[in-house]
């Protein structure tokens, strides 16, 4: 189909949708240019307040106060304070999330701790001996799950998310699942899968990298045991900004970390040779927190003040619906195939299009100012960050894609 046939109508529709968008003003909180940036599911755009805040942290807190900032600038308590800022975005009450380390490291903590909790408290190193993992997950979760299994004497059982029910049983210790598939954008059934894992007497660990900040997660509501996620995608914390771990309150006194660094000690500055775990979510901390990245993230979270996650979800679905309609209208039939489920209940905040020569196509899109990313072997991935992506962006991206494939 040619650009001209539908173009005027869809462009006009985008204008109307943007004018009605209640989140529209949020866009001004980010540093954007004339690029259509649909890669916020890989690296969120720069929030406009971060440069000044980080400059202040460096010049005043590090440069002038130096060591005193651990107390006076609140550095020491940043992991739990920022965790409490993330909590409402994933449906968690305060006191259950700490920020720090990478997602991979947090997956390790969560899985090993989950296995230990699932076993008889008197014998946490034996008993239930299977870890189930989403075989289609982002690979690092699978690699780390294999290591956690090896170190806890478990067998690793990789299955497609649809087959999880069939492998659960009395040997299952823990199940690690991605809330959304990083490749296709498919959203998995968190409430249903959590309930199924619990029915088998096991614990579930959810990886929220591709959903936190894009849609309601409802950790507390659905009784999730443990969760992890990164902060550099929809939360816009900056490249490699620290990840987080959620430990449900009722499990915290049994959370037995495989990485019991001094920051998780009940009395860290007592410098005592024997380990005694801190109370609460602090058990998820390990070593000295990475302050520059962490405080950049804290500033980035200001963009969420007063935002309803339901509104974010509504806009996300409207954006991906609209983009799919534009693609259908503009792109010659048969050139791309959407891997993203059309049902809203199964869709995250991205659109994945299978496309021959996807790697080259993405390069050419980027050259034309439309930035998504390529995932091997043949996927074009477009992420829609409701805080700063507009309907006009979605229309333009589809238009440029059609021209590129023409």
The CB-of-292 to its own copies minimum distance in angstroms stands at 5
Say how many residues make up the chain. 406
Tell me how far apart the alpha carbons of residues 60 and 67 are, in angstroms, rounded to a whole number.
11
Q: 54 vs 167, which CB is nearer to its own copies?
A: 54
The CB-of-6 to its own copies minimum distance in angstroms stands at 30
Residue tagged active-site, from 315, 381, 396, 399: 381
Per-residue tokens: 101: 């380390």
Task: Verify whether residue 233 is a known catalytic residue.
Answer: yes
Q: 330 vs 374, which CB is nearer to its own copies?
A: 374
The CB-of-148 to its own copies minimum distance in angstroms stands at 9
Phi, psi for residue 131 in degrees, rounded to 5: -115, 125
Give the side-chain half-sphere CA count within 13 A for 239: 0
Q: 16 vs 31, which CB is nearer to its own copies?
A: 31
Taking 3-state DSSP, the helix, strand and coil percentages for the chain, each rounded to the nearest 5, stand at: 45, 15, 40
Q: 147 vs 338, which CB is nearer to its own copies?
A: 147
Name the residue with tokens 């550095």. Answer: 75
Cα angle, residue 188 at apex, residues 184 and 192 outer, rounded to 5°: 170
The CB-of-252 to its own copies minimum distance in angstroms stands at 18
Q: 6 vs 283, which CB is nearer to its own copies?
A: 283
Cα angle, residue 236 at apex, residues 316 and 140 outer, rounded to 5°: 90
Residue tagged active-site, from 39, 101, 207, 225: 207
Task: Verify whether residue 207 is a known catalytic residue.
Answer: yes
Residue 48: strand, helix, or coil: coil
CB 177 within 8 A of CB 107: no
Q: 329 vs 397, which CB is nearer to its own copies?
A: 397
Residue tagged active-site, from 30, 37, 108, 232: 232
Cα separations (Å) of 290 from 45, 195, 262, 296?
21, 36, 14, 10
Task: Verify whether residue 381 is a known catalytic residue.
Answer: yes
Task: Verify whether residue 305 is a known catalytic residue.
Answer: no
Beta strand 244-247 pairing with 226-229: antiparallel
Residue tagged active-site, from 30, 108, 138, 246: 138
Task: Verify whether residue 53 is a known catalytic residue.
Answer: no
Residue 20: strand, helix, or coil: helix
Beta strand 97-99 pairing with 244-247: antiparallel
Residue 271: strand, helix, or coil: coil
The CB-of-198 to its own copies minimum distance in angstroms stands at 26
The CB-of-239 to its own copies minimum distance in angstroms stands at 4
Name the residue with tokens 């490249």. Answer: 239
- Residues annotated catalytic, as ranges: 138, 207, 232-233, 381
């Amino acid at each position: 189909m040619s650009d001209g046939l539908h173009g005027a109508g869809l462009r006009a529709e985008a204008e109307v949708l943007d004018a009605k968008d209640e989140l529209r003003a949020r866009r001004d909180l980010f540093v954007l240019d004339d690029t259509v940036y649909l890669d916020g599911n890989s690296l969120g755009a720069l929030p406009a307040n971060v440069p000044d805040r980080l400059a202040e942290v460096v010049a005043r807190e590090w440069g002038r106060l130096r060591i005193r900032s651990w107390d006076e600038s609140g550095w020491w308590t940043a992991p739990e304070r920022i965790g409490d800022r993330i909590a409402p975005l994933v449906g968690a009450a305060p006191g259950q999330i700490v920020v720090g380390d990478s997602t991979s490291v947090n997956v390790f903590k969560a899985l090993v701790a989950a296995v230990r909790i699932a076993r008889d408290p008197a014998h946490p190193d034996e008993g239930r001996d299977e870890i189930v993992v989403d075989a289609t997950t982002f690979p690092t979760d699978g690699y780390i799950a294999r290591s956690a299994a090896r170190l806890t004497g478990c067998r690793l059982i990789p299955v497609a998310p649809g087959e999880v029910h069939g492998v659960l049983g009395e040997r299952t210790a823990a199940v690690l699942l991605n809330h959304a598939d990083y490749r296709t954008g498919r959203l998995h059934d968190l409430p249903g899968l959590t309930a199924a894992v619990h029915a088998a007497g096991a614990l579930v660990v959810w990886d929220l990298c591709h959903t936190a900040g894009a849609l309601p997660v409802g950790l507390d509501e659905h009784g999730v045991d443990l969760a992890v996620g990164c902060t550099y995608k929809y939360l816009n914390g900056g490249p490699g900004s620290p990840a987080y771990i959620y430990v449900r309150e009722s499990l915290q006194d049994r959370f037995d970390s495989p990485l019991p660094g001094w920051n998780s000690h009940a009395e860290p500055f007592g410098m005592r040779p024997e380990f005694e775990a801190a109370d609460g979510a602090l058990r998820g901390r390990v070593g000295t927190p990475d302050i520059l990245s962490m405080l950049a993230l804290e500033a980035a979270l200001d963009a969420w003040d007063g935002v309803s996650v339901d509104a974010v979800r509504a806009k996300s679905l409207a954006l991906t619906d609209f983009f799919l309609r534009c693609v259908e209208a503009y792109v010659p039939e048969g050139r791309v195939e959407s891997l993203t489920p059309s049902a809203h209940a199964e869709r995250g905040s991205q659109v994945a299009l299978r496309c021959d020569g996807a790697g080259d196509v993405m390069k050419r899109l980027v050259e034309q100012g439309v930035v998504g990313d390529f995932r091997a072997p043949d996927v074009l991935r477009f992420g829609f960050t409701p805080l700063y992506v507009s309907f006009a962006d979605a229309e333009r991206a589809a238009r440029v894609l059609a021209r590129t494939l023409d």
